[in-house]
Structure 1
Amino acid sequence: MAKSTGNSLSIITWNTCGVKPTKHSPNKLIDIMNFGKKQKADIIFLQETHVGPKGYNYINEVRGWTSYFTVYSPNSKGVAILVNKKLKPHYEYICHDEDYAGGYIVLFCQMHGQLFTLVNVYNHKEDKQVLGRLSQYLQEMKIGTLVIGGDFNTVLDLDFDKRTASEHRRHTSLRPLLQSFISSLNLQDTWARLHPTEEAFTRSQSTSHSRLDMFFMQQDKAPFAQSCEIHTDSGISDHNPVSLKIH
């Protein structure tokens, strides 16, 4: 369990496939936030919120959390960053920015006296441009410690991050774009760094299992990541949440 102790930060990234009530999850957003509380999360990245222009209050009025979010569009599906108000004595908002197409949101802030650039990404399978835009933006604008999380809709290691009954392990056209994005910003996959020999997945469909949801930090700051865990018992979405603890 990711706990906030001393000057540490606990961040969760999760593709929740919507936050509005459903037949199978009538209290979906409450359940999502209760999971965050159970994990003692300071910050939560949500992807595919499905929040449109008429429903933004679903994200805007989450009790105990400050919300920054994009409004739903067919390609972006909506992303949000939520900051636990319990962090307030150690948190100072600077500004936030978002992709014009809604594929990412960037929060510039100071926590525990350190500058951070927090980035939440939903890399839609039809969007071949978002990571290029984000790379260019961050090369010019990032400050302090850069933490990027989200659903990238592709795997990095075809042999390790994907298991399928099919002999044909076709990778999507997004994979080289993600590899280029990582290289351009000198990033490191925190799960792979901390679990070099462990196989785990964040999404399962029938006989196919993939690790699509990831956290990245720049290589010089990567050692500050104390733990990165994939939680498989949420039951809220077809994606598993991933938690990151930074010292």
Structure 2
Amino acid sequence: MGTLRFITWNINGAGSREKRLKIFNQLKKLQADVVLLQETHRPLRGSNELKTPEFPNVFSACYNSRQRGAAILIHKNINFTVLDTVIDPEGRFLIIKLSIRDKKLCIASVYGPNVDDPSFFHGFFSALSEHLDGTLVLGGDLNLGLNEDMDRLNTAGTQRNWQSTNIIKQYMNDFGLCDAWRSLHPTTGDPGD
């Protein structure tokens, strides 16, 4: 299939034209092939505003203009066939299954709840489990740390013992997934903090 460059980014809203231009300029500099966005804050009618000449292929899970939203953008130079899509009506995740050069690829962009919600993660991974017959790429903002000591600033009151953390770890183990950033930076704090 060759090498594809993936970017995942919580953009915290793409409501204004000025902010979208800043996002698109940064994506152009990063030379991404596939972009997974979270917190797009786009209503369904506004999802086409994420299209650009470089990224004409946009898949969106929309909610409203003030919260949630996930999107996957694919660069114009990537030739693919869509095999299946799963769009969360609550705007929390999007799963697309593609064929690229006769190889199956499942890409998921997820924006997790900012409260402990084990049922959400069971539902998300259940939907994902139906598309595991190819290479899986999962990116997003889970809104929790998988390793509280490394992934969160250790100030008083920030330690959270959420059930969702253990559920995600179990599914990651079951699906053979790893935290790519943590694998490359085993002793560095989370870049989102």
CA contact (8 A) 1:42 1:84 kept: yes
Quick check: which one's helix share is greater?
2
Between the aligned partners of 2:65 and 2:171, the Cα distance in structure 1 is 23
TM-score by length of 2: 0.86
Equivalent residue for 2:15, pick from 20, 29, 47: 20
Between the aligned partners of 2:65 and 2:19, the Cα distance in structure 1 is 21
Between the aligned partners of 2:49 and 2:158, the Cα distance in structure 1 is 41
Deviation of 1:113 (Å): 3.6
Equivalent residue for 2:114, pick from 110, 113, 125: 125
Deviation of 1:94 (Å): 2.2
TM-score by length of 1: 0.69
SS at match of 1:108: strand
Does 2:44 correspond to 1:44? no
SS at match of 2:91: coil
Quick check: which one's strand share is greater?
1
CA contact (8 A) 1:154 1:175 kept: yes
RMSD: 2.4
| Corresponding residue number in structure 2 for 1:232 | none
Does 2:54 correspond to 1:102? no
Does 2:24 correspond to 1:33? yes
Q: Identity across aligned pairs (percent)? A: 27
Between the aligned partners of 1:48 and 1:110, the Cα distance in structure 2 is 27
1:19-98 superposed matches below 5 A: 19-21=14-16, 27-59=18-50, 61-65=51-55, 66-73=57-64, 77-88=68-79, 91-98=80-87
Between the aligned partners of 1:167 and 1:181, the Cα distance in structure 2 is 27
| Corresponding residue number in structure 1 for 2:138 | 148
CA contact (8 A) 1:99 1:105 kept: yes
Residues 80/168 of structure 1: CA separation in 2 closer, same or farther (3 Å cut): closer
Between the aligned partners of 1:165 and 1:133, the Cα distance in structure 2 is 32
Residues 33/175 of structure 1: CA separation in 2 closer, same or farther (3 Å cut): same
Residues 170/133 of structure 1: CA separation in 2 closer, same or farther (3 Å cut): closer
Deviation of 1:74 (Å): 9.0
Which residues of structure 1 form unaligned runs of 5+? Answer: 1-5, 204-208, 210-247
| Corresponding residue number in structure 2 for 1:169 | 159
Between the aligned partners of 1:13 and 1:51, the Cα distance in structure 2 is 17
